[in-house]
Amino acid sequence: MTMITSKSQLRSEAIEARRAIPRAQLVQASRLVEGNLASQREYRDAREVASYVSREDEVQTDGIIRRMFAEGKRVAVPLIDLPSVTLTFFEIHGLGDLSVGHFGILEPRGGAHPVPLSETDLILVPLVAWDDRGHRIGYGRGYFDRALAGRARSLAVGLALESQRITEVPDGPSDVRLDMVVTEKRVLRFDEGPLTEVTY
């Protein structure tokens, strides 16, 4: 993917490319992402995880969420509040606790228990594009960047495809860098020192 200065142009190009991926290929790649995530110490040690609920063309999280339930992890997923442009995460006990909400995304139904991100160990983050510095492009509304700003000790982990990688994401003062990116081929960790990477 060629470098384009405008983030909105990058976003549009990346979304178009992602939507062109055949469904079977996306499902297969998502299973590899799940396996790579599950093999990481940070995931194994996590007891409370916040996760996005995937759209049709994103790295799929239904398998990951089912795995976390089977492993006894506490799982929270986001509910969008349009007036405040914020996310609130609520605990769920199964995918049956979800119903279609804003933007056609599955969201927790009423009565769920709110979970502050500061109480979680991992946050699984969606993205449109990413780079090797840990910067991501989302959908342009800033929901996850606002939420991640208050995550405290919790690690922000982007679930991605290698085809979503770009040379450099133009980042601004409100953008929050990921701690890790997990793809179908590798795991990258970003900290103050050198980039660390495991390839599968």
Digit-coded pLDDT (tens) for 51-108: 999 999 999 999 999 999 999 999 999 999 988 989 999 999 999 999 999 888 999 9
Instruction: Say whether pLDDT at 120 is over 90.
Output: yes
pLDDT at position 67 is: 98
* 54: three-class secondary structure by DSSP: coil
Describe the strand order of the beta sheet including 186-189 as a list of residue ranges.
86-92, 74-81, 48-51, 122-125, 155-159, 180-182, 186-189, 196-199
Tokens representing residue 28 in the block: 């297969």
Terminal CA-CA length for the chain: 22
Q: Residue 88 is inside which H or E element, if any?
A: strand 86-92
In the structure, how many helices (H) and strands (E) does the chain have?
Answer: 5, 12
pLDDT at position 4 is: 46
Cα 197 to Cα 38: distance, rounded to the nearest angstrom: 16
Tell me which amino acid residue 78 is: P
Q: What is the pTM of this model?
A: 0.93
